[in-house]
């Protein structure tokens, strides 16, 4: 029999609902896994073992007096939340040394949604400061490392969550995606990552996101597990039922075009092109028709996106006396955001609305768009910041101040992510290739499929059809 952490999320859910495994047994198992693996991986900032065991015992009490059909959808399932979301009674750090770290008075709406679905919260996962970057490293805790190669990053900003799922510390995890923050770490860690379309998951909306870029989405080991989580995030759409159906034959456009190319010219790694080729072969074998799709992006995009993306950190409540404790990138982009006029932000938002219209018009010539998930293999820990983290222990390190070099590296690493958020479209990453030649060998590399509004179920169906 496989151990609990080797089961799919769906199989574990069924065992918990049937009473074959108790919530207390499951919680204790995953807490033990975290205790063993987290010192190496840095996936968790905070582990709430006592709270989790208390929630598990309460879940077992409920199940003793309820029929399986009366239990919530994720009864007793172990879960954890990015350390950007408030969990009542637990410190929210936002990955920042510049904030006071106090227990949250109440659950964030996303956390409430999952607690109502019956989950047991094991703690808070590692994030970059304020979720701003494509890597999960900060000044308050060890960096989140890739379980497939601990010298490499697990991506960001949902990097701790992705590392936890890939290492079997969690069966699956919710992330949030404002510029690739579900899809980047999912691709880096060899997982399925789904970014739902704008407005589908109301619990993830934020007042500090004027362009409405951010949405929660599942990070999972399979399309079925992602569909199970989507049934919580967007109830009533029956994703788990839909994912088991065969998708229609589709016309899929292949592109390497990126709105970042004019500002930050890049050449995809050979491994990224190998992943794209592997994805093409799988899709053609499944009966879909593929063709080259040239996409023209307005070269004003990088400035407009950056203006919208950093508006929230510019407005964050941080004491002037604590700003020196911000990471260089955060401090630089906060200062620039504060120096921009409201008219400049309004101009950027208007441009992004036009960019969405123009880009969607080009995408509509195809049923789905296909591109690599990342342009490079998962990057070494400390690569973006120029920080030598050295051993797996958390050292006291100095962070160089090259914020613009850091940002450029991120845009070259993940050049096909943020425009999907600007357009508000659904997208999924699928781990179709491993650099060592076999699944689990070497580093994972994936493809991204982008669909029209409302295509979340279709994207999950295609991922499952490809064997994921």
- What string of DSSP letters covers 140-209? SSPPPEETTEEEEE--SSSHHHHHHHHTTSSS-EEEEESSSTTHHHHHHTT-EEEEPPTTS-GGG--TT-
Catalytic, out of 26, 181, 222, 417: 181
Rounded Cα distance, 215 and 182, in Å: 9
181 has catalytic annotation:
yes
Catalytic, out of 22, 26, 82, 121: 82
258 has catalytic annotation:
no
Q: Name residues whose C-beta falls within 8 Å of residue 235's C-beta, 6 or more positions apart in sequence.
A: none
Can you give the length of the chain in residues? 468
Rounded Cα distance, 163 and 232, in Å: 22
Asked if 66 and 118 count as a contact pair (C-beta separation under 8 A), the reply is no
Rounded Cα distance, 348 and 130, in Å: 21
Provide the phi-psi class of 131: left if phi over 0, else alpha when psi is between -120 and 50, else beta. Answer: left
Q: How many CB atoms lie within 10 A of CB 398?
A: 8
DSSP state of 4: G
Catalytic, out of 157, 158, 417, 455: 157
Tokens of 61: 């009490």
CA distances from 414 to 266, 267, 372 (A): 10, 12, 9
Q: Nearest to residue 432, comparing CAs of 113, 140, 191?
A: 191
Element housing 122 (H / E): strand 120-125
Q: Nearest to residue 163, comparing CAs of 186, 181, 183, 130?
A: 186
Q: Name residues whose C-beta falls within 8 Å of residue 405's C-beta, 6 or more positions apart in sequence.
A: 386
Side-chain-side CA neighbours of 160 within 13 Å: the count stands at 32
Burial call 177-211: b when 16+ CB within 10 Å, e when fewer: bbbbbbbbbbbbbbbbbbbbbbebbebbebeebbb
Element housing 219 (H / E): strand 215-220
157 has catalytic annotation:
yes
Q: Name residues whose C-beta falls within 8 Å of residue 123's C-beta, 6 or more positions apart in sequence.
A: 34, 44, 45, 46, 47, 48, 49, 52, 80, 90
Rounded Cα distance, 370 and 258, in Å: 12
Q: Any idea which residue has 């952490």 for tokens? A: 5
Asked if 191 and 217 count as a contact pair (C-beta separation under 8 A), the reply is no
So which residues are the catalytic ones? 82, 157, 181
């Amino acid at each position: 029999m496989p151990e609990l952490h080797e089961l799919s999320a769906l199989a574990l859910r069924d065992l918990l609902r049937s009473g074959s495994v108790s919530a207390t047994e499951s919680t204790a198992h995953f807490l033990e896994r975290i205790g063993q693996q987290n010192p190496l991986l840095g996936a968790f900032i905070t582990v709430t073992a006592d709270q989790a065991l208390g929630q598990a015992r309460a879940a077992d009490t409920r199940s003793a007096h309820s029929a399986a059909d009366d239990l919530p959808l994720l009864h007793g399932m172990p879960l954890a939340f990015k350390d950007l979301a408030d969990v009542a009674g637990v410190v929210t750090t936002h990955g920042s040394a510049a904030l006071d770290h106090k227990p949250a008075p109440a659950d964030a709406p996303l956390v409430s949604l999952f607690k109502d679905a019956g989950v047991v919260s094991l703690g808070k996962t590692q994030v970059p400061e304020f979720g701003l970057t494509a890597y999960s490293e900060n000044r308050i805790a060890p960096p989140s490392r890739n379980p497939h190669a601990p010298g490499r990053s697990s991506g960001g900003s949902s990097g701790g969550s992705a590392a936890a799922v890939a290492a079997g510390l969690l069966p699956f995890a919710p992330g949030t995606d404002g510029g690739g923050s579900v899809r980047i770490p999912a691709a880096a860690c060899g997982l399925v990552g789904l970014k739902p379309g704008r407005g589908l998951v109301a619990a993830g909306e934020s007042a500090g996101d004027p362009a409405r870029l951010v949405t929660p989405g599942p990070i999972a080991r399979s399309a079925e597990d992602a569909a199970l989580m989507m049934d919580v995030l967007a109830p009533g759409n029956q994703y788990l039922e839909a994912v088991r159906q065969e998708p229609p034959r589709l016309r899929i456009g292949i592109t390497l075009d990126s709105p970042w190319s004019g500002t930050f010219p890049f050449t995809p790694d050979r491994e990224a092109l190998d992943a794209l080729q592997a994805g093409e072969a799988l899709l053609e074998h499944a009966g879909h028709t593929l063709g080259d799709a040239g996409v023209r992006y307005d070269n004003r995009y990088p400035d407009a996106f950056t203006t919208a993306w950093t508006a929230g950190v510019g407005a964050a409540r941080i004491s002037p006396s604590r700003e020196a404790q911000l990471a260089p990138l955060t401090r630089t982009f906060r200062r620039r955001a504060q120096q921009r006029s409201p008219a400049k932000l309004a101009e950027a938002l208007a441009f992004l609305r036009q960019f969405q219209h123009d880009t969607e018009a080009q995408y509509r010539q195809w049923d789905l768009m296909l591109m690599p998930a990342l342009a490079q293999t998962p990057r070494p820990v400390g690569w973006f910041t120029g920080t030598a983290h050295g051993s797996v222990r958390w050292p006291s390190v100095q962070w160089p101040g090259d914020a613009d070099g850091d940002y450029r590296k991120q845009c070259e690493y993940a050049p096909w992510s943020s425009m999907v958020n600007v357009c508000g479209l659904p997208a999924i990453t699928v781990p179709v290739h491993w650099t060592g030649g076999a699944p689990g060998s070497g580093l994972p590399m994936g493809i991204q499929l982008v669909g029209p509004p409302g295509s979340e179920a279709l994207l999950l169906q295609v991922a499952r059809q490809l064997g994921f």
